[in-house]
Amino acid sequence: MPITMDLRQAIVHKVHGKSESDLTDMIIGSVNGPEAALPGLGVILEIAWKHMSPSQQQEFVHLAHEQIDKIKPVPLT
C-alpha cells in the first residue's frame, strides 16, 4: 500500500533528524537554487515562525521588509 504525504509532511520527513549543519547546507543550497526548492524553505519558515516569540516575528518581518524594499522588481510584461 503506497504512503500518501502532503508537501509539509514530505519536507518534514526529509529534514527530520538532520544536523544543524545539514539543515544549513540545505538552506544554502536552496537559496538562489531552483524554484522547486522554494516550498521547502517555506515549510521551514512556517515551522520556525510558529515557534518564534512575537518580538522575533516582528524582527523577522522588519528584516524581510527592509531587504525586499532594496530589490527592484522586474517589470511585468
Question: Could you read off the pLDDT tens digit of each residue along the chain, which spans 77 residues?
Answer: 677 779 999 999 999 999 999 999 999 999 989 999 999 999 999 999 999 999 999 999 999 999 999 999 999 88
Say what the pLDDT of residue 77 is. Answer: 82
Spell out the alpha helix ranges (H) of the chain. Answer: 7-15, 20-30, 38-50, 54-69
Say what the pLDDT of residue 23 is. Answer: 94
pTM of the predicted protein model: 0.81
Q: What is each CA distance from 18 to 24, 27, 46, 58, in whole angstroms?
A: 10, 12, 18, 28
Say what the pLDDT of residue 1 is. Answer: 66
